[in-house]
Each structure stands twice: as structure tokens, then as C-alpha cells.
Amino acid sequence: MSDYSIAFISNEAVTRGYANDFLTEKWLGNFKVASSINSKRLENFKIDFCLIDASKNFESFNHLKDFCKNTGIKKIIIFHSESDLDKLKRLIKKQTDRIIFRKVERINGGEFFKNQLSELIKVFNPNGYQSFMNLENIETSIPYDLILLGASTGGPEALKQIIGELKPNMPPILLVLHMQPEFMVRYCERLQRITGLKVKRFIDHEKIVPNSIYIADGLNHMEISKTGSDYFLNRGSDEKVKGHCPSVDVLFNSAARLKKSNLLAILLTGMGSDGAEGLNSLKNSGAFTVTQNEETSEVYGMPKAALEIGAAKCVLSLEQITKILSLQEL
């Protein structure tokens, strides 16, 4: 049984039928399919993820703003026609941290929405990562508020491949790479040349913002904390943890204390075991955790250590990791 619940809303009967049949067969948790955001079917129903078909004959624009203020909903994915996007964004412009807009591609009378629901199920069903692990072509519509990356030996080239494919409008990315401080400035410059995102070495007490990649500078540990609704980076000690400063474990453990379920953490190629325990803490706090597979790792130390203690929900190739991250957007 999944801990998450889904609501699917569409005033198109055929689309609702597709969604209901698909969720009945595939979803292991609670769900509701309704014709309107004001439907009595949704009364007293706890919603974690809500998918709203606003692409055709949508009659609830006037109520959408109030509905999106429901802070109990982790994410709301609104499917829209191209002509309605500006109208939707004006209505709910202050709620965009939890809302994803996706243009509808109608495929065979409901296949598009079945594909979207399928991606949710792959991630959030219990043990759903088992099928997720073995997909040759991975796509995901699940948005994350934060993305954490940890790497060591082989990491510089792996990260260049990943970061070079990232698109604008990304959530903040926090990166710990085992690299000597004297090489870090030039490496950041190299990354900046291949991405439109802002690449920077982190600053103590800095507020993190989207479209930015924050990199530990090699002098101190990097940690994350929360004040109110904002997240900040903090400079930790310079004492080595598992032989490293900065340490992936230090960043991951600080993020685990936030207890955010919509957080993606990825442990890439590297020697040793740094990051394994922190990744396990993140998994236990509700985050979605990924390790790079052996075949594409230059050194299969850190990912293997994480896998051995059950810290990874998903084991993926570097190409698959790149694809997942390239599909993320706010």
C-alpha cells in the first residue's frame, strides 16, 4: 500500500474513464477521479498529488486559485492547452513552487494522461523503483524541490555530461565533489561554459534559489538548513569525514533533517563509501535516492557502499540519470 494519494480531475468523461481504469489496475494507494475541483468526491480526501486536466472545456478557472492554496497537496500538475497557459499562470502566480504546468499532447484518447500517471506510479508505489530500475528509456514528470549530487573519482566528467544537458527553470542543485580547492575555481568555470544555469561556489548563509548549481568549495563542509520557508547553505567545519572535506555525507545528512519527500539525491561514481550513510538517511526521511550503476561508474565504490546498506531506491546508468535530470523543471 502506498502512503501517497492521487486525485485526477477532468471534465472529460472519456479521460476520467481512462484514468480510473489505469489507477484501479496499477496504483497501490488511495485515489479519486473527479469531474471538478469542487466535486463532493474530493471532500475530506487527503491529496498528495493532484493532476488537473485543464486542457479542454475547463470550467473551474475561477476556483483554481483557491484550490491551489491547499498547502497539504505536495504537487499539482496542471495540463493545459497552449492558449490557456498565460491565463493559468496569472491566476496562481504565487503558488508556482508546488505547481507544474504541462502542455497536453493528446495521444489516442487518454494515453497521454495514462503516461503521466504511470510516471507517478513508478516513483511512489512501494518498491516501485524495481520496475523503474530496469527501464531502458526513463522519463519522469515528478518535480523535485531540491536536487543533491555527490561524486568523487570519475565525478568531474560524469557531472559535465549531466550538467551540460540541464534545461532552464531547474530547482536548486547542491553538489559535493571530492576535488582540491585549487582546482575548484577552474572546474566551476568549465561547468559554467556548458550550462545556462548559474554555477557558483557556495557562500555561508546564502539563500538558495532556482536555476543555480551550488558547489562545495573544497575548504569546508557544505550543509543546508531551513528558516521559515527559505533554505540556506551553511559553512561547516574543515575536519575530514571519512577522509574527505567536503563530505557528501555531511550535506546529505543535513538535508535528511529537513524531512522533505520531494527531494532527489544522487550518488555518483567515486572511491570509498562517502555519501552512503547520508543517502540512507535521506531515503528514510522520504527522499527519492539514486545511485549510479557499476557499468557506467569509473570507480564503483560510493554507489556500491550505498546499495549494500539499502540506501538506493533506484540504480541507474549515467545516461538514465542525465535524462531524468534533463526532464526536471519547476
**Predicted confidence pLDDT, tens digits, the chain (330 residues):** 556 788 998 888 888 888 888 888 777 678 999 988 888 899 888 888 888 887 776 666 667 767 777 667 877 888 877 777 777 777 666 554 567 777 776 545 566 676 667 666 654 444 333 333 333 333 344 468 899 999 999 999 999 999 999 888 889 999 999 998 889 999 999 999 999 999 999 999 999 999 999 999 889 999 999 988 889 999 999 999 989 999 999 999 999 999 876 889 999 999 999 999 999 999 999 888 999 988 899 999 999 999 888 888 888 889 888 887 876 554
pTM of the model: 0.60
**Cβ partners under 8 Å of residue 134, min gap 6:** none
Task: Count CA within 13 A, CB hemisphere, residue 48.
Answer: 16
Predicted local confidence at residue 129, as pLDDT: 34
pLDDT at 154: 94
Q: Which of 228, 184, 222, 224 is nearest to 208 (CA)?
A: 224
| pLDDT number for residue 206 | 93
Active site residue 274: yes
Q: Which residues, listed in sequence order, are joined to residue 77 by a DSSP beta bridge?
A: 51, 100
Note if 97 is an active site residue: no
The full set of domains in the chain, from first to last, is 6-126 (3.40.50.2300), 146-326 (3.40.50.180)
Which of 5, 10, 141, 152 is catalytic? The answer is 152
Please give the DSSP secondary-structure letter assigned to residue 136.
Answer: S
Q: Residues 48, 244, 274, 297: which is the catalytic one?
A: 274
The DSSP code for 269 is S
- Catalytic, out of 178, 247, 281, 285: 178
- Residues 308, 250: Cα–Cα separation, whole Å: 20
Grid-cell match 555531511, residue found: 250
84 catalytic? Reply is no
Please count the CA atoms within 13 angstroms of the CA of 120 that sit on its side-chain side: 28
Give the list of residues 6+ apart from residue 229 with CB closer than 8 angstroms, or none. none
Beta strands in 56-189 (DSSP E): 75-80, 99-103, 146-151, 173-177
